[in-house]
Each structure stands twice: as C-alpha cells, then as structure tokens.
Structure 1
C-alpha cells in the first residue's frame, strides 16, 4: 500500500505541475497580439456555415451577434436546419428576414451518413458563396476581430486550418457552470497547451475555418459523414494529407450555456470520454488522467493515511482548484462566480468517472440510438433505434462538437 500511495501521489503532483505549465502557456498565448492584415489589403470572402438543431440557449441573440461582425471583406452566414419541423427553423427564418444581406437559410438535402452535424455541413458547403468556410456552432459568440484574424491566418499559404479555443459564458445553473468550467480550464487550455508545448493539433468544431479547395481535396465533408469527432479528424488530415499547418487563434470563441442540468453535463461527457478514447492511442488516453490529479491525490492519501499524505493531497486539490479558476478567468470576459470553487471539485469527480467509462465502453447513446464507435471515432453500425422521435434534439447533442 505505501508504494501504491507514493505512486498515486507522485502522479498527482506531476499532473498538477503539467497543469501549471499549461496555464503559463495559456497566458502567453493570450498576451500575444492576434495577426491582422494591413488596412486596404484584400480580404477573402467568408461563408460562415452554422448548422442548427433545436432552439439553443439565447439562439436569437447568438445569431444577432453574427449579423454585425467587424470585417472589412465580404461574409455571409448560411444557416442550416434538418427540416421545417426543427424548433430552430422559425428563428432562422426570422434572422434571414431581419438581416437578408447577411443570413441565408438552407434545408438539409438527404442523409448521407450517421453524423447529423456533418449531414448538414454537406448541404451548407454546397450553398456557400465564398471560398473560405468557417464552421460555427449555433451556441457560440465571438469577439471583435474574429474574421479578421481568420483572414490573416489564411494569408499564409502554408496554413490549412484556423481553429479557436472555447470558453463558456452565461451560466445560470450549476450544470452550466460545470460545462463552462470544463470548456475553458480543460478543453481550451489543453488545446493551447498541446499546440504550444508539443505542436499537437486539437481542432474544435465550435469554430473551425478551412479553405473550400482543401475541404474538396479531402473528399468534402462527405468523407467524414460517419465520423463522430469530424473536427479532430479533419484537423489531423489537414496536416497529414495536405501538409498544411493548423493555427490556434489568440482569441477564444464563447459557448453560451445558461440552463444545463448536472445530469445533462455528465451524460455529455460520458459521450466525450468515448470520443477521446477512440480518437487517441491507449497510452495517450491513460496519460490524460494525470490532468485530473485531485482524485489521484485523494486515493493516494487514503491508501496510506498520515498527516504528510493528507497535507500533500490537500495541496494538490487546492492547487487544482486555483489553476482551473485562473484559466477560467483568463479565457473569458465574465468574472468567476463565487460558487465556482466547489464546482471545480464536482466537475473533476464527474470527469474522473467519465474517464473510466471511456476506458471500458465503446458505445454512445446518441439522440435515441445506440451507436458503436470504432477507431478514429468512426461510427460503426446502428444497434437500436428509439421509438421516440428525437430528431429535433438540442444542439448540445452534437456529441462531436
């Protein structure tokens, strides 16, 4: 038991050190100026492809935000819905009526694959007017200079993809706070840290920009129609198949989460654990557990209880809370709420359980259907369909987004 305790405590300390390094990289990334094009330089036309599925939190306000982007070039927002029964359809139609010079609406044409988001992207790409695609989820908002930074990135011909870290904003419930904490302190910080420390690309479909010609060279969005983590896979293909670089933008995009329940948060990250496990190698997935060091420290102290192990475990737990809150604050414009410290602890416990789930399970419950996920997050086969029509589930049910 003392040896097992020592190993767990050492792993926890190592993980906390890695998180501190990651946080330093986040600060460095945020302090660097975003690249810009000179005034008067030509800007590419940009088509923002925005698949909708259900009425997200503050959907009308989210769309209005994209109607007034500060960009010196031409841009459009192509809204996609599966069909007119979707609760997002009247919202999208109202946006088109209000801002016809910006928004257009496209109904999904056919169902080429098992990934519903990609099914919409296939249609949206066909309707896009311009040659730079920006895939943007319906529950996101962006900061000033969003399109300008994307355009500046593509001024370099070696760049094949521009993606953005994601921070959560707007929490009104404890579940949404858990969600927003995870997006900033784990997903966004990990994305920045992986790029800056190891030059590893983690592309996030909340905001992902690609040239039309590169998408077509990869076989179009149709090529990932049966892939759960299409964003991550496309990012890997950009470098491996096209030989181009992925750029992580300096400014985050903001995921709006207002009223999520704790149960909905947990179910979402059970699915994400399966995505992570099938997207990376087993050693990488095992190493990811080190980035949640608090449970390791607590178990280490429990195996060999003593004042020394107790103090060390407490130091790791407190350190993890502080570094998460610091990253949370660094990546979003809103202040950290007073109830965030206990939320970090709850989040880490639930994510630890989800990590173990991903270690042993390969199926996901996705919109009333059980699907098996294979290597590379490829969707294998439909095993069971629900008798309930869940085709109009909310956008959060895009498990790959």
Structure 2
C-alpha cells in the first residue's frame, strides 16, 4: 500500500473516532437536567421577535406553538418587510384563533442594510415592550416550557446571551432528509462537542435570548445589518463586552420539510462560505467527522481494490449506525430508510466543503454579494 493510501486509511480511522466523540458529546449534553427556577427572571416579560418572509405549508403550525407557551407574560412580534407578504395572512389567522396571545405586527419603511433578516429585527425591536428579547426563526417549533428553560439560564448577570440545541425534522423530500441528517449530526454534534470539551457556545440564530439594554449599548441591530452571519457577530459583540454565551440543553425543532436538493446545495455552499470567513484555519477541522469522504478517496487512489472497497462499506455502515443512535438521542424521528442516505449526504457535504475555495460570491434572497471577513456583505 502506498504512503498516500496509508495516510488516507489512517484518516478514515481518525475521523471514525471523532464521530464517536460527537456522539458522546450529544449524549452528555442532552442528558443534562434542565433546571426550571420559579425565580425573579422567570417572571420578567419577554418580547419574541419573529422575522418572516414568504409562505410555507408548515408556517402556521410553527408559529402556533408560540401562542400557548407556559409563561406568565410575553408578546409575539411578527416582522415583515412588505404588506403583501403572504406570511401576514397566517399571522392574522393566528390572531383570530389565539386571542389570548399578545401579537404585534411590525411593518415599517425599509431600513438600510444588506441582511433582510436584520432589517426585520430592527422593525421588531422598535415595537418591543420588554427588556428580555428572544429572536426566533419562522421554521422553529417549541414545547410549552421553552421560555422557562431559557430564562433560568439568563438569571446570572454574567450571561449575556442564551441559545438552544436545534434538531431538524420533516422528511418529505430528498433535500429535507439530507438537510436534517446534516443538521442533526454535524451542526448539533459539533455544537455539543465544542460545549462539552472546550466550554465554547456556538450561537445559532434560530433561538437567541438577550437583554435589550445590553445590545443597545453595543450599537444594536443596525451595527450588524451588513453581515450575513448576524448571529455569530452578535455573539462576538457580547463576548467583547465580557458577557458569557450559554447553551441550553433543551432541544427545539427546525421544521425543514419540502426542501429541494438544489436548495440543500445552495444553502450548504453558502454556509461553508460563511464558516471559512468566521473560522479561518479552523474550517479544516470539519473534515475530521467525514470518514466516508476519506474512504471514497482511499478507494479512488487504490483503484478500487477489494480491501479498500471493504473499508468503504464498513465505514458507511459505521456512520449509519452512529447517526441513527445520535438521532435516537435527540428524538429526531427519522425513519430507518432516511439513515441509509447518510453516506450520500457525507459525500455531498464533502464535495461542498471545497466550494469556498473556488466561489467568492454569495447569492442570498435574490441578491449577489462578495463575502468579506466575518461574513461582511459587499454588493456586486
């Protein structure tokens, strides 16, 4: 066996071990008890900002889970850019069906900035009545104790920002299955790995809780309006002000059904470009949890010898087992046949990993930008 093949075989073994570390981290984090204190912060009211754009079949079901939360005082602020947005009709239906929910709609003149989500958040912040602010994406579904779990963690004044573990559900298309497999293993597993072994919290924009007074001292949402990864920039701001970021072990669900394969590719290419700009050399470490990619390369360089083909088969089976166990731990609800697509997902993700080195522009919400350091957007 050549030196290259020996190196690739070693990488297969190393990456398999790293996958087990991901699995162990998920087990440890998701098994942590969630303390729900009836203390002082628990009673503080919360403004929930929901940036919306467009309609999806799951939208109403997602938003409805926020209308009956077990929490004494909170308001829902749905933020849209245009009065013609079809998401508004869904919000109006919820206003009728859930009269107990305090619902506001934020539609204002267009704010400057290249990130449409941040523009929506600026609108919502202008209507927020309370100091505790929660950003929650439109595709998120939560359980009734969601707010109590979060507010318990922000009682410590050293904590500036709290986020959640996100699992993907909704396997109605090939793109959705691949998206959820990647979210539930790589994204969730990586988040748990960093938190368990390095005490580092990776903030996700799908669920962020913080204090309005603190973010306004940092320049507010207008200061991040031209960044694509607004959640990561927000975290950096809090850290510069000496505030900790905390991960809640409470799982929330991202409903990713009806995603096309093309959308899966575009989304993950964009995310790869963002991670390069945010992580720099650390981006290379992502390959350490993709043994399927190295097993395929081993087969290619060995001209598909019997031994290396067996290595590929064993590696694929190993990864299917690891991801199915991890899926059970987080109650992802994926079927057996979904996990058979794990090797395909890993191969596609491995190919996408190289895209930032060849693609310097990013397309998002109908506009094209050059992505600069820390995901700052420059229009093309």
Residues 163 and 207, structure 2, Cα contact 8 Å, conserved in 1 = yes
Aligned to 1:173: 173
Aligned to 1:31: 31
What aligned pairs does 1:2-401 form with structure 2 within 5 A after superposition?
2-38=2-38, 42-71=42-71, 73-100=72-99, 101-239=101-239, 241-281=240-280, 283-304=281-302, 305-332=304-331, 334=333, 336-380=334-378, 382-383=379-380
Residues 165 and 189, structure 1, Cα contact 8 Å, conserved in 2 = no
Aligned CA distance change for structure 1 residues 42 and 173 (closer, same or farther; 3 Å): closer
Report how far residue 341 of structure 1 moved.
Answer: 2.5
Aligned CA distance change for structure 1 residues 112 and 40 (closer, same or farther; 3 Å): closer
Residues 162 and 246, structure 2, Cα contact 8 Å, conserved in 1 = yes
For 1:184 and 1:159, the matched residues in 2 are separated by 26
Q: Deviations over 1:266-306 (max 9, x none)?
A: 1111111111111111x211121222221112212332354
Aligned CA distance change for structure 1 residues 121 and 14 (closer, same or farther; 3 Å): same
Q: Deviations over 1:136-164 (max 9, x none)?
A: 01111012421001110111111111101
Aligned to 1:392: none
For 2:171 and 2:316, the matched residues in 1 are separated by 24
Residues 167 and 332, structure 2, Cα contact 8 Å, conserved in 1 = no
For 2:184 and 2:57, the matched residues in 1 are separated by 18
Residues 37 and 152, structure 1, Cα contact 8 Å, conserved in 2 = yes
Residues 132 and 211, structure 1, Cα contact 8 Å, conserved in 2 = yes
Q: Scaled by the length of structure 1, what TM-score is found?
A: 0.90
Report how far residue 109 of structure 1 moved.
Answer: 3.4
Report how far residue 360 of structure 1 moved.
Answer: 2.5
Q: Deviations over 1:334-378 (max 9, x none)?
A: 2x3132123212211221121110232221122222111001011
For 1:141 and 1:102, the matched residues in 2 are separated by 18
For 1:333 and 1:361, the matched residues in 2 are separated by 33
Residues 9 and 313, structure 1, Cα contact 8 Å, conserved in 2 = no
Q: Scaled by the length of structure 2, what TM-score is found?
A: 0.94
Q: Deviations over 1:198-229 (max 9, x none)?
A: 22331100111111122112210111100000
Aligned CA distance change for structure 1 residues 42 and 249 (closer, same or farther; 3 Å): closer
Aligned to 1:386: none
For 1:108 and 1:4, the matched residues in 2 are separated by 59
Report how far residue 39 of structure 1 moved.
Answer: 6.9
For 1:291 and 1:333, the matched residues in 2 are separated by 20
Report how far residue 317 of structure 1 moved.
Answer: 2.2
Residues 47 and 77, structure 1, Cα contact 8 Å, conserved in 2 = yes
For 1:366 and 1:38, the matched residues in 2 are separated by 42
Structure 2: 5+ residue runs without aligned partners? none
State the number of aligned residues. Answer: 378
Q: Deviations over 1:22-79 (max 9, x none)?
A: 11111111111112113787522111100000112311111111101112x3111110
SS in 1 for 2:65: helix
Structure 1: 5+ residue runs without aligned partners? 384-401
Bigger Cα displacement from structure 2, 284-293 vs 101-110: 101-110
